Structure 1
Amino acid sequence: MKNQINAESARRLLQSQGWLTQRPQQFQIDILQYAQLLAYDTGSYTHHIGDEPGGVFAVVQGSFGVLGPNLASGVVMGHVHRAGAWFGEGPLIFGTRRLLEFRALEPSTVMHVPLVALERLQHRDPDFRNQIMTLVAHSSLLVSRAVSDLLIRRSEQRIAAVLLRVSGADGLTGPSVTGPVHLTQSIIAELSNCSRHTANVTLKAFEQRGWLEIGYATLTIHSPDGLRSFLTEEN
């Protein structure tokens, strides 16, 4: 684990970035009072598709790949959650088993609020469900953006769009990230629906332009504006 963090520090972090910051203060207090700090090793899962219903998770440190079913390829990764991101609201809202699965891409820490606690809060406060529904809306916007990125025809531009979204460099899907983030070239290829060769060549070209820096299983985005400008270039 990068840095050990206690539960109180984790609560403060979640109240300072991400979806929860947009919710009323009392809601923040209510949901966080039941949150439990959990750690995940690289490659471990919070849950799998089809698992029994459970609670919600909030990323405190590290990152999680968001994986869903694909008719052609089985289970594929579509996004990466970083600090401040919340997920797992489906069972509470829809009463279903798990529809997605989340894999730690590096040693990671989350706050977990059990389903029984969420149901207790929902029973106590009629507005609680409305607040959770805003997380559903937030997740839907992420899905819409991921689909939009994959509809970009030119692979190099598609990779640029994916990098902006999953690295956190643009600040649109969470707090703006300026330092190195864990992203391997194989993950970028999967997220961008292209070959590893195409991803590798494109990333090296972006590095030569000074837009990013490639490290060992990491990327640092130096120029989000450069990537954005590239997205508007003519083919």
Structure 2
Amino acid sequence: MDSAPARSNPQPGPLSAALYRDRLHASNWFGGLGKPLQEILIDMAIVRRLADGEVLFRRGDPPDGLYCVVEGGIRVRATTADGREALLAVLEPVNWFGEIGVFDNQARTHDARGEGDTVLLHMPQAALMELLERAPQHTHAFALLLTHKLRLAFSVLEETALLPASVRVARRLLLMAAGYGDLRLGTRRVLRVPQEQLALLLALSRQTVNLVLKDFQARGILKVAYGEIELLDLPGLRDIAKG
């Protein structure tokens, strides 16, 4: 009898976005889409990896689609022509971003870089455009993501103009703990944000943020460690955030 032909060892294929299906359901936006659209997005998604500090896109780059952070983080910055920078957001799992370009097909408005070893799900622009042309009823779902970000932007502008530093710090910590309003499965207790980054996010001096955090720590509201902040008393932090 002839022997069976030897089988070659299969080579591992690219990482599948479906591996992150359960994690995506921690997002209010994704969890509310309904299963058909959820599966469409997972099927079109490409898994991308970034090293710490690696550029995803820069201001002025053409839009290339929608992203979701599933591991690590993304720093969103604005950079002026003379080299000055402002840190606008640090996005952790499972934040979605890039939706502006899905609607207006215009250039990227900010820079985005990896924060630590980062894994993203990328829904390419061409695939999204084809989806919305074929099934325009899904446009409303992406519009909800856009309007959520717009509400956040107005709230941050108001806080910057009107509120004292301690209230601004408390509100930003709570916002980050809630995944910028998109976490549906609980609240983060440990935030990976150095004091310097928090100061940049709030347009406050590092000294001011340091004093505020020391006061919060003395009151048992949080604990400051190297590169992170652990929230110990969420009700107490919410009381401060009320102003």
Q: In the alignment, is residue 115 of structure 1 matched against residue 131 of structure 2?
A: no
* Structure 2 equivalent of residue 68 of structure 1: 78
What does residue range 177-192 of structure 1 map to in structure 2 within 5 Å?
Answer: 177-192=187-202
* Structure 1 equivalent of residue 181 of structure 2: 172
What does residue range 28-47 of structure 1 map to in structure 2 within 5 Å?
Answer: 28-47=38-57
**Alpha-carbon spacing, 1:232–1:95, altered in 2? closer, same or farther (3 Å):** closer
Letter in 2 for 1:207: Q
Q: Deviations over 1:176-207 (max 9, x none)?
A: 33342210000111112211111112111111
What does residue range 1-16 of structure 1 map to in structure 2 within 5 Å?
Answer: 7-16=17-26
Query: Could you say what secondary structure the match of 1:151 adopts?
Result: helix
Q: In the alignment, is residue 77 of structure 1 matched against residue 87 of structure 2?
A: yes
Query: Could you say what secondary structure the match of 2:144 adopts?
Result: helix
* Structure 1 equivalent of residue 218 of structure 2: 208
Report if the CA contact (8 A) 1:212-1:222 is conserved.
yes
| Residue of structure 2 aligned with 1:93, choices 76, 98, 103 | 103
TM-score normalized with structure 1 length: 0.87
Report if the CA contact (8 A) 1:152-1:158 is conserved.
no
Give unpaired runs (5+ residues) of structure 2.
Answer: 1-14
Report if the CA contact (8 A) 1:79-1:146 is conserved.
no
Report if the CA contact (8 A) 2:18-2:42 is conserved.
no
Report if the CA contact (8 A) 1:79-1:166 is conserved.
no
Radius of gyration: which is bigger?
2
Shift of residue 224 of structure 1? 1.9
**Alpha-carbon spacing, 1:66–1:149, altered in 2? closer, same or farther (3 Å):** farther
Report if the CA contact (8 A) 1:105-1:182 is conserved.
no
Runs of 4+ in 1 over 6 A off after TM superposition: 70-73
| Residue of structure 2 aligned with 1:151, choices 149, 161, 164 | 161
* Paired residue total: 228
Give unpaired runs (5+ residues) of structure 1.
Answer: none
Report if the CA contact (8 A) 1:106-1:182 is conserved.
no
Could you tell me how far apart the structure 2 residues matched to 1:77 and 1:23 are?
30
Identical columns (%): 23
**Alpha-carbon spacing, 1:189–1:181, altered in 2? closer, same or farther (3 Å):** same
CA RMSD of aligned residues (A): 2.3
